[in-house]
Chains A and B, each alone.
Chain A
Amino acid sequence: MPALSWREYLDEKMLPHLWCPGCGNGIALGALTRALAELQLPRNKVVVVTGIGCWGKADDYLATSALHGTHGRALAFATGVKAARPELTVIVLMGDGDGATIGGNHLIHAARRNIDLTAVVLNNQNYGMTGGQVSATTPVDAVTSTTRYGNPERDFDLCRLVDAAGANYVARGTVYHVPQLDRLIRDGITKKGFSFIEVISPCPTHFGRRNKLGSAVEMMKALKTRAVNVNSPAAKTGELPAGAFLIGKLADRDDPDFTARYAAVQQKAQAKGGFSS
């Protein structure tokens, strides 16, 4: 079979997509398709599960199998797909509201269960689809349509949360740092166990406009200046300037995943003969 190009993982007849000019979603989608192409995963063996939100619309542009669920529940739908058919590659695309606010409980439990899913949470710091309301990843004091006087609440550090919950793989990238983002997603897919990739991405239409962060280009420039590679000397000393955040692989371990552990359960049950009645 001839190699699949990354564009063949896209359903190009659905383009142009519905995202705003300069929205990072399209860049993240490109990174995902390039990761899939690099791994040459057969399209019928990939199931992309999405939630509800701007980023959650990504399934409409993919030529793999897909399941578009409900707001916050994508990981639970994906858990069913993976637990029933461990041989499939299951990728879960969620916004920060979807994956970490309404869906936060599923996120920590998927990580704890260490189920072999690859979650790509696109963090644009607000609810894009519904008009830019506050999210659990909106920084304190930031302005959104529901925090006109500044956000009184603190934001989650999603990577630390998911790391603490036990995921095998945790990484953060941005839509500015694309070649790295491709690799982070690719490595997350190959990693057994729960993989979590947070993608920092601009929502110029709402978050950018309300916080006077300038155009999409200005927001991309800010990603370039604020991101600090986890392997850089600055990251090693831990002395990061205000507003900086780490990008790169933040946790990487090889604990047994749910599938491996459940296979052992099945073996025990079968050895016991199962039916007690």
Chain B
Amino acid sequence: MNIANRSKDKNESTVDRGSKETRRLFLQGNEAIAEGAIAAGARFYAGYPITPSSEIAEACAEKLPAVGGVYIQMEDELGSIAAVIGASLTGVKAFTATSGPGFSLMQENLGVAILGEVPCVVVNVQRSGPSTGLATRPAQADVMQARWGRHGDQHLIVLSPATVQECFDLTVTAFNLAERFRAPVILLADEIVAHMRENVTLPDPAQIKIVNRKKPACPPEEYLPFKPDPDGVPPLADYGSEYIFHVTSSMHGERGYSQNDPANAGAKIKRLFTKLDNHLDEILLVKHHYNPADELDLLIVTFGCTTRPARAAALRTPNLKAGVLQLVTLWPFPDAFIAEAAQKARAVLVPELNLGQVIREVQRVVGKEKPVFGLHKSNGLGFLPAEISARIEEVANQCLR
């Protein structure tokens, strides 16, 4: 992507916090996600309860019917994501929330949303695995699953909130990106942000930037549901409108009927990538918790719940300038932002609640020019600032002093 062209730390600009209708509330991350979804225009939730995401379902069960929406508790997560896809195709913004085991069950039908180009949002509040694991404990070990968990070649957007405010803001962003690109978007939260309570600002709904999917403008008999506009994204009609159309999990042509031709399949799969990769300026979000113009001794790359303790640790480093770059968009991976920040740093540290996922990507971007260190933990506990400080000290002794 073109760095010169990008706007800075973007999701700040989604909302205007000055207006009268602004509400300040003390909310849990999960509650803020539900509020964000409704503010974004979501009117359909299908899900199956699982810790640590269940409060999202509970909030939706209470609030959606009050705004004319629908909450439905499905018999499992395969059905939840399927119902979300069905609902979205009627023109209703739809979402679901889950955690590890449920997210695993959703993978096959997430593929339907990707190939069928169905806008929807899936919240995965990460918990400690594998399998049932430490069911109530935090982890950040689904980063690769979110990107690669399904069979077949494909691409998708994953966002990760670090604060309760971001739970609200990024849920709005997730719906906006899903609608913009006719694609599923995953909000990859974790037990810590989801269960944390903080003051949040819910902006005046009139001030929230809302994106709605492109609808066809052609006569109904000419509508091709998979014929892309020049931006790579095909307009999507609603079931029940004057447009009659087919959506399928099988490989299909522009008309949405099965098609086996390899040339068509190759072009379609390629477009699933380019429709995102050609618009990275709209998708990639990061936050520099330091002045990006500064030269750093140590760049700390974080996402989600590692951001806070890393920021605290960065402030406590004597004789060393450390800065935190928070990845808000995890996929597509924000290569350009990391490369640019790493250029101005002597070393890079990646703390994460897994045994090494995001660090692989950071190493790929930074290459061999700069040392990249990890701090990995996979025992169901979050990081304390002191743990990160101790690792910074080790790194400093090894190559910064």
> Does A1 belong to the interface (CB within 8 Å)?
no
Q: Are B244 and A43 in contact (CB under 8 A)?
A: yes
Q: Which of A58-90 contact B (CB under 8 A)?
A: 59-60, 63-70, 72-73, 75-85, 87-88
Q: Are B87 and A80 in contact (CB under 8 A)?
A: yes
Q: Are B87 and A64 in contact (CB under 8 A)?
A: no
Q: Are B63 and A275 in contact (CB under 8 A)?
A: yes
Chain A residues within an 8 Å CB radius of B65 = 262, 265-266, 268-270, 274
Q: Measured between alpha carbons, how far is A177 from B192 in the docked complex, in Å?
A: 61
> Does A14 belong to the interface (CB within 8 Å)?
yes
How many of chain A's residues have a CB under 8 angstroms from any CB in B? 49
Tell which of B131-139, B158-166, B246-254, B298-306 binds the partner.
B246-254
> Does A276 belong to the interface (CB within 8 Å)?
yes
Q: Are B87 and A272 in contact (CB under 8 A)?
A: no
Chain B residues within an 8 Å CB radius of A78 = 86
* Distance of A107 from chain B, by nearest CB (Å): 10
> Does B46 belong to the interface (CB within 8 Å)?
yes
> Does A5 belong to the interface (CB within 8 Å)?
no
Given contacts A76-B78, A269-B66, contact A47 B84 (CB under 8 A): no
Q: Are A77 and B85 in contact (CB under 8 A)?
A: yes
* Distance of A99 from chain B, by nearest CB (Å): 13
> Does A211 belong to the interface (CB within 8 Å)?
no
Q: Contact check: which of B44, B62, B89, B239 meets A269 at CB < 8 Å?
A: B62
Q: Contact check: which of A47, A73, A269 meets B79 at CB < 8 Å?
A: A73
Given contacts A81-B90, A81-B239, A87-B240, contact A69 B246 (CB under 8 A): no
> Does A277 belong to the interface (CB within 8 Å)?
yes
Chain A residues within an 8 Å CB radius of B80 = 76
Tell which of B68-76, B122-130, B313-321 binds the partner.
B68-76
Q: Are A85 and B239 in contact (CB under 8 A)?
A: yes
Q: Measured between alpha carbons, how far is A80 from B43 in the docked complex, in Å?
A: 12
Q: Contact check: which of A47, A57, A68, A276 meets B239 at CB < 8 Å?
A: A47
> Does B25 belong to the interface (CB within 8 Å)?
yes
Q: Contact check: which of B86, B87, B92, B243 meets A44 at CB < 8 Å?
A: B243
Q: Measured between alpha carbons, how far is A110 from B378 in the docked complex, in Å?
A: 40
Given contacts A77-B82, A85-B92, contact A67 B70 (CB under 8 A): no
Q: Are B90 and A68 in contact (CB under 8 A)?
A: no
Chain A residues within an 8 Å CB radius of B2 = none
Q: Are A67 and B68 in contact (CB under 8 A)?
A: no
Q: Contact check: which of B27, B91, B245, B247 meets A277 at CB < 8 Å?
A: B27
Q: Are B83 and A85 in contact (CB under 8 A)?
A: no
* Distance of A56 from chain B, by nearest CB (Å): 10
Q: Measured between alpha carbons, how far is A34 from B282 in the docked complex, in Å?
A: 49
* Distance of A79 from chain B, by nearest CB (Å): 5
Main secondary structure of the interface of B (DSSP, over half): mixed
Q: Are A272 and B66 in contact (CB under 8 A)?
A: yes
Q: Are B86 and A88 in contact (CB under 8 A)?
A: no
Q: Are B248 and A68 in contact (CB under 8 A)?
A: yes
> Does B384 belong to the interface (CB within 8 Å)?
no
Q: Contact check: which of A81, A105, A274 meets B63 at CB < 8 Å?
A: A274
> Does B94 belong to the interface (CB within 8 Å)?
yes
Chain B residues within an 8 Å CB radius of A273 = 66
Chain B 47-75: CB-based contact to A (< 8 A → 1; otherwise 0): 00000000000000011011110101011
Q: Measured between alpha carbons, how far is A162 from B62 in the docked complex, in Å?
A: 30
> Does B169 belong to the interface (CB within 8 Å)?
no
Q: Are A80 and B66 in contact (CB under 8 A)?
A: no
* Distance of A71 from chain B, by nearest CB (Å): 9
> Does B242 belong to the interface (CB within 8 Å)?
yes
Q: Are B243 and A80 in contact (CB under 8 A)?
A: no
Given contacts A85-B90, A266-B68, A276-B62, contact A105 B76 (CB under 8 A): yes
Q: Which of B190-223 contact A (CB under 8 A)?
A: 220
Q: Measured between alpha carbons, how far is A254 from B23 in the docked complex, in Å?
A: 46
* Distance of A217 from chain B, by nearest CB (Å): 30
> Does A219 belong to the interface (CB within 8 Å)?
no
Q: Measured between alpha carbons, how far is A179 from B32 in the docked complex, in Å?
A: 56
Chain A residues within an 8 Å CB radius of B297 = none
Chain A residues within an 8 Å CB radius of B112 = 69-70
* Distance of A92 from chain B, by nearest CB (Å): 11
> Does A183 belong to the interface (CB within 8 Å)?
no
Q: Are A277 and B75 in contact (CB under 8 A)?
A: no
> Does B142 belong to the interface (CB within 8 Å)?
no
Q: Contact check: which of B25, B44, B242, B257 meets A80 at CB < 8 Å?
A: B44
> Does B258 belong to the interface (CB within 8 Å)?
yes
Q: Which of A100-114 contact B (CB under 8 A)?
A: 105-106, 109
Q: Measured between alpha carbons, how far is A166 from B220 in the docked complex, in Å?
A: 39
Q: Measured between alpha carbons, how far is A266 from B75 in the docked complex, in Å?
A: 21
Chain B residues within an 8 Å CB radius of A43 = 244
* Distance of A64 from chain B, by nearest CB (Å): 7
Given contacts A69-B109, A69-B112, A262-B65, contact A14 B86 (CB under 8 A): no
Q: Contact check: which of A49, A79, A106 meets B72 at CB < 8 Å?
A: A79
Chain A residues within an 8 Å CB radius of B240 = 44-45, 47, 65, 85, 87-88
Given contacts A80-B83, A85-B90, contact A68 B249 (CB under 8 A): yes
Chain B residues within an 8 Å CB radius of A57 = 258
Q: Measured between alpha carbons, how far is A270 from B246 in the docked complex, in Å?
A: 35
Chain B residues within an 8 Å CB radius of A85 = 90-92, 239-240
Chain A residues within an 8 Å CB radius of B68 = 266, 270
Q: Contact check: which of A66, A265, A268 meets B246 at CB < 8 Å?
A: A66
Chain B residues within an 8 Å CB radius of A11 = 257
Given contacts A44-B244, A76-B74, A109-B75, contact A83 B66 (CB under 8 A): no
Interchain residue pairs with CB less than 8 A apart (18): A44-B244, A45-B240, A47-B239, A59-B248, A60-B246, A67-B246, A68-B246, A73-B78, A76-B82, A77-B85, A77-B86, A81-B86, A83-B83, A85-B92, A262-B70, A265-B65, A274-B63, A277-B27
Please give me the 4 A-B residue pairs with the lowest Cβ-Cβ distance, nearest first: A274-B66, A80-B86, A80-B83, A76-B79
